[in-house]
Amino acid sequence: MKRIKKRRAFELCWNERRALAVVDSPFAVGLKYAFHDAESSRLVLVIDLMMGGDLKYWLSQHKCFGFEASRYYAARTLLGLKALHDRDFVYRDVKPENMLVDEHGRVRLSDLGLAEEPASPRRRTTQVHSELKGASGTPGYMAPEMLRREVYDHRVDYFSLGCMVVEFIVGVCPFRTRDAAHWGGRKKKKKKKKQDTEDRALRKQAKKEDARANMARAALEMAPDLTQDVWKEGLGPAAKAFCKALLHKDPSKRLGSNGVKDILDHAFFGGLDLDEVLADAVEPPFAPGKAINAKDAESIGDFASLGDDVPLSDGDFDTERWNYVSPDAYQAEVVWLLQWEEEKRGPRTRVEAVAEKASSACVLS
Please, what is the Cα angle at 170 between 98 and 92, to 5 degrees?
30
Indicate the pairing of strand 42-47 with strand 2-5.
antiparallel
- CB 80, CB 25: distance < 8 Å: yes
- In 223-317, DSSP assigns E strands to none
- CB 231, CB 240: distance < 8 Å: yes
Question: CA-to-CA distance for 244 and 312, rounded, in angstroms?
Answer: 48
Among 54, 10, 15, 220, smallest CA distance to 135 is for: 220
Q: How many CB atoms lie within 10 A of CB 265?
A: 12
- CB 257, CB 155: distance < 8 Å: yes
- CB 64, CB 168: distance < 8 Å: yes
The one catalytic residue among 37, 48, 54, 93: 93
From the centroid of its chain, how far is CA 348? 48
Please, what is the Cα angle at 264 between 124 and 151, to 5 degrees?
35
Among 117, 167, 118, smallest CA distance to 140 is for: 167
Q: Is 93 a catalytic residue?
A: yes
Q: Which residues contact 315 (CB under 8 A, 6 or more apart)?
A: none
**The dihedral formed by the CA atoms of 229, 235, 240 and 243, expressed in degrees to the nearest 10:** -130
Please list the active-site residues.
Answer: 93
